[in-house]
Amino acid sequence: MQLQKADPKKKYMSFTLTTTLTTAAIFAVVAACTNQQAKAKPNFVVKDSAKPGVMAKIGDQEITEEELIGEEKLEFFELKKREHELRMDRLNQVVRKKLFEAEAKKANMSVDEYINKKVVGGEIKISDAEYKKFVADKKIPEAQINPQIKERINDYLKNQKREEKIDAQVAKLTKSNPVEVYFKKPKMDIQVEVGQAPAFGKENAKVTIVEFSDFQCPFCSRGADTVTQLKKKYGNKIRVAFKHFPLPMHKEAVPASEASMCVNEQNTDKFWKYHDLLFKNQDKLDNASLEKYAKDVGADTKKFKECFDSGKYKEFVQKDMQQGEKLGVRSTPTFFVNGQLISGAVPIENFSEIIDEELASK
């Protein structure tokens, strides 16, 4: 076995961390021992509100919930959404525990024995096909997979399959005896104007998805893959609109956005092809490449170049960014599904849950 050489960077990181912690500890002692006057605060008196929606009052002036939240709508909603997710996670755990305890008692078994024998059904095995599919789906380079990583992947897949079997049993046990839930999922209804944004689907579609995205953002590339899946799954039942929100650290994202609008000017179908090409080639978004991709999707390169060189859509992209900022968009990708927020590159199931509810309610 070959011994690894010490990494000087790790020594430096360790030293830096130690120094930082030591400095922080000294500062904490000094702060604790300093006879410093506490910062003055407003005089707050907590009471029950006399009116619905009124959160505070000073003199005769009422402060409504809308005024209190102001432009931080998304931040407040994310907190409510996270609280609901935690409640649902805990509820699932508690329901599972109660159901399996009751079933194990009927079978005269311990809970672990019941799960292993009656639910999971013995040892779980992962086939080569399942392993290869996972590696392909996650785009893991074969050269990076050593025996330890392969073992971890197999363990992950075994645990995933085990959880799927447990979930299936819980679904079966609650099919005729549903769980009554006395707290509701928070719902956000933000009106997002589509305007002249490139869009897929009919204007009168029952569900409209507005995406704020950045062509140089790796998470947005995953979001684009999910949008493609949604188009295939729902077709004309949904409308998808693309809004530009290039982040400051992505220097080639603004030109890419402007270029995409020059393609859209010629043909929206070509825009979506161009959109896919940009996300597949995020490491090559220089001007020459942008022009090449326009040619690849069948756009008139002369018209494209005239449009792009003139900066025709610079203001258009800026207005998309301003709209996103006003709505509270802080990261990409950010989606609004019929006004309901979805943040980040999340699985298609997160979208389907909202879309299916919206389609059923119309």
Would you say residue 187 has pLDDT above 90?
A: no
In a domain, 151, yes or no: yes
- Residue 92's domain spans which residues? 74-174
In a domain, 120, yes or no: yes
- Give the Cα separation of 18 and 11 in Å (integer): 10
Looking at residue 41, its amino acid is: K
Q: Which of 139, 157, 174 is the last residue of a domain?
A: 174
233 and 286 in a single domain? The answer is yes
166 and 211 in a single domain? The answer is no
In a domain, 192, yes or no: no
205 and 170 in a single domain? The answer is no
In a domain, 334, yes or no: yes
269 and 323 in a single domain? The answer is yes
- Give the Cα separation of 266 and 263 in Å (integer): 5
Q: What is the pLDDT of residue 36?
A: 58
- Give the Cα separation of 189 and 89 in Å (integer): 24
Other residues' Cβ atoms within 10 Å of the Cβ of residue 44 = 7
User: How many residues belong to the chain?
Assistant: 362
253 and 354 in a single domain? The answer is yes
Q: What is the pLDDT of residues 7-32, one digit of tens each?
A: 443 333 333 444 444 545 544 444 45
235 and 331 in a single domain? The answer is yes
Q: What is the pLDDT of residue 37?
A: 63
The mean per-residue pLDDT over the stretch 324-328 comes to 89
221 and 91 in a single domain? The answer is no
Q: Residue 302: which CATH number?
A: 3.40.30.10
Would you say residue 220 has pLDDT above 60?
A: yes
Q: What is the pLDDT of residues 78-106, one digit of tens each?
A: 888 899 999 999 999 999 999 999 999 99
In a domain, 61, yes or no: no
Element (H, E) at 341: strand 340-343
119 and 261 in a single domain? The answer is no
Dihedral angle sign, alpha carbons of residues 50, 56, 62, 67: negative
144 and 213 in a single domain? The answer is no
- Give the Cα separation of 227 and 101 in Å (integer): 41
Q: What is the pLDDT of residues 331-343, one digit of tens each?
A: 999 999 999 889 8
226 and 353 in a single domain? The answer is yes
Residue 327 tokens, joined? 């709505």
Q: Which residue has the tokens 């505070």?
A: 56
DSSP 18: H
Q: Which residue has the tokens 């999910």?
A: 226
Residue 211's contacts (CB-CB under 8 Å, 6 or more residues apart) are 223, 227, 240, 241, 242, 243, 333, 334, 335
The mean per-residue pLDDT over the stretch 208-213 comes to 97
Q: What is the pLDDT of residue 260?
A: 98
CA of 193: how far to CAs of 152, 280, 325, in Å? 46, 28, 14
Q: What is the pLDDT of residue 185?
A: 86
161 and 212 in a single domain? The answer is no
Q: What is the pLDDT of residue 317?
A: 97
109 and 257 in a single domain? The answer is no
In a domain, 153, yes or no: yes
Q: What is the pLDDT of residue 6?
A: 42
Decide which of 191 and 88 is more confident. Answer: 88
Among 35-39, 152-156, 207-211, 338-342, the range scoring the smallest mean pLDDT is 35-39
Q: Which residue has the tokens 């790796």?
A: 218
When pLDDT is cut at 50, 70 and 90, the band that residue 328 belongs to is: confident
Q: What is the pLDDT of residues 253-311, one digit of tens each?
A: 999 999 999 999 999 999 999 999 999 999 999 999 999 999 999 999 999 999 999 99
Task: Determine how β-strand 238-244 pairs with β-strand 207-213.
Answer: parallel
Report helix, strand or coil for 246. coil
Among 42-46, 73-77, 212-216, 317-321, the range scoring the smallest mean pLDDT is 73-77
pTM here is 0.66
Q: Which residues pair with 113 in a beta bridge?
A: none
In a domain, 92, yes or no: yes
Number of domains making up the chain: 2
- Give the Cα separation of 35 and 307 in Å (integer): 65
In a domain, 230, yes or no: yes
The mean per-residue pLDDT over the stretch 125-140 comes to 90
Residue 130's contacts (CB-CB under 8 Å, 6 or more residues apart) are 157
The mean per-residue pLDDT over the stretch 302-331 comes to 95
When pLDDT is cut at 50, 70 and 90, the band that residue 169 belongs to is: very high
